[in-house]
Amino acid sequence: MIQRALTSRLKEAAAQLPVVTLTGPRQSGKTTLCRAAFPGKKYVNLEPLDTRDFAQSDPRGFLAEYSEGVILDEIQNVPELLSYIQADVDEDPSPGRFILTGSQQLAANRAIGQTLAGRTAILHLLPFSLDERRQSEDWQEDLWLDVFRGGYPRVYDRHLDPVRWYADYITTYIERDVRQVKEIGDLRAFRTFITLAAGRTAQEVNLSSLGGDAGVSHNTTRAWLGILEASFITTLVPAWHRNVRKQIIKAPKLHFIDTGVACSLLGIRDPDQLRSHPLRGALFESWVAGEILKGLVHRGRQPDLKHYRESRGMEIDLVLQQAGSLHLIECKSGATTHPSFFEPLQAIRDLIGATSSNTAVTAALVYGGKESHPRRTIPVYSWSDIEKLSRRVAG
């Protein structure tokens, strides 16, 4: 079994609070992780209708069967159960009694925020990070194969064909999860929408353009992007500016968290296609953003990813703001570095540093080559050393 980076943080949370809630996309390994981390706990899946009916019709009787603690999988299917869990843990606040998992971020968080505030830790599990994928017996040190395969555990655990698995995953996601969202009545239109969104990964979001191409309204576009975020398919990275008001005005960037999903939606059926694909650079940037995001989330950190772009054209792909520090990260998919790669990083780092005396500003370049270079001014990280950069910026 591949050891998950979140394991220690999950156990720490269970040793401190009576409830731990683990959310993340479907098939990211939540159930496997929880059962491995807490082998002595009983396990109940709230997906089957008969189990769900028992929990809904007799919540007290249902919970009484697990007074010693339980892993409740897919808690978003029975959100009313949370009120009874609240009453239960108020009577017995022993740490680690209930381990809850959920696949829909907004649905789970809304209910948890109303009922379990102060009683639960909320953690997120995303697909495998690069260090986790390396534990697979069929791992190969190939950037474009890695971008193509993505990070979903079943592709590695069961040695599945990524083309077939991701196609099935996307279909299941649309037909199963999206049907539960009221805003969507036309699944075919939504499938078109997410395909068009995949073609805009690592780009600033233009709601009118995306909605116009998909044939839906501006408000529908906004709502559907929210659904993709709630399901951990995409993340919106807002613009960074020293003036907080300007962050709201600037357009956010869209990133698919897992490039395997994006490649499938784009019809990429072989890693060799990526080597000359017009979206090669964008997919690499989203791959880097996803790895940085996983590094933060799997350490229990709140990700604060942003991007930077000036009206005159200078831009930085990723900006990570931590307490007292600002990290600038530029992504280049080529296997060779060029002096021009460092110019915007150097200029923006110096500009921000000169006007932000209380903030330590660092810069780094991630590229598609094999060798990392610990330069004094701007260090260069190979894609294969992304975890080192992730640890550095996480602090």
pLDDT along the chain (395 residues), means of 10: 94 96 93 96 95 95 93 91 93 95 66 78 95 94 97 94 96 78 77 96 95 92 90 92 61 96 97 95 98 93 87 85 86 92 86 73 94 87 95 81
String of DSSP letters for 160-203: --HHHHHHHHHHHIIIIIGGG-TT---HHHHHHHHHHHHTTTTE
Q: In what order do the strands lie in the sheet with 380-382?
A: 305-309, 315-322, 325-332, 360-367, 380-382
CA dihedral 215, 221, 224, 229 (to 10 degrees): 140
With CA atoms as reference, report the closest residue to 262 among 275, 276, 279, 238: 279
CATH of the domain spanning 7-124: 3.40.50.300
> Position of tokens 């996803």?
290
pLDDT score, position 181: 64
pLDDT score, position 334: 95
pLDDT score, position 185: 75
Amino acid identity of 42? K
pLDDT score, position 123: 93
Beta bridge partners of 120: 19
DSSP state for residue 4 in the 8-state scheme: P
pLDDT score, position 248: 46
The Cα 211–Cα 221 span in angstroms is 5
What's the burial of 85, exposed, middle or buried (CB within 10 Å: 0-12/13-18/19+)?
buried
DSSP state for residue 384 in the 8-state scheme: G
pLDDT score, position 304: 85
Between the CA of residue 282 and those of 40, 152, 199, 251, 374, what are the distances in Å? 44, 20, 9, 17, 25
Neighbours of 15 (CB within 10 A): 10
pLDDT score, position 182: 62
The Cα 313–Cα 305 span in angstroms is 20
Q: Count Cα neighbours of 376 within 13 Å in the Cβ-side half-sphere.
A: 0
What's the burial of 160, exposed, middle or buried (CB within 10 Å: 0-12/13-18/19+)?
middle
pLDDT score, position 111: 67
The Cα 273–Cα 107 span in angstroms is 37
φ, ψ (nearest 5 deg) of residue 302 = -85, 115
Cβ neighbours of residue 382 under 8 Å, at least 6 residues apart? Answer: 366, 367, 369, 370, 371, 372
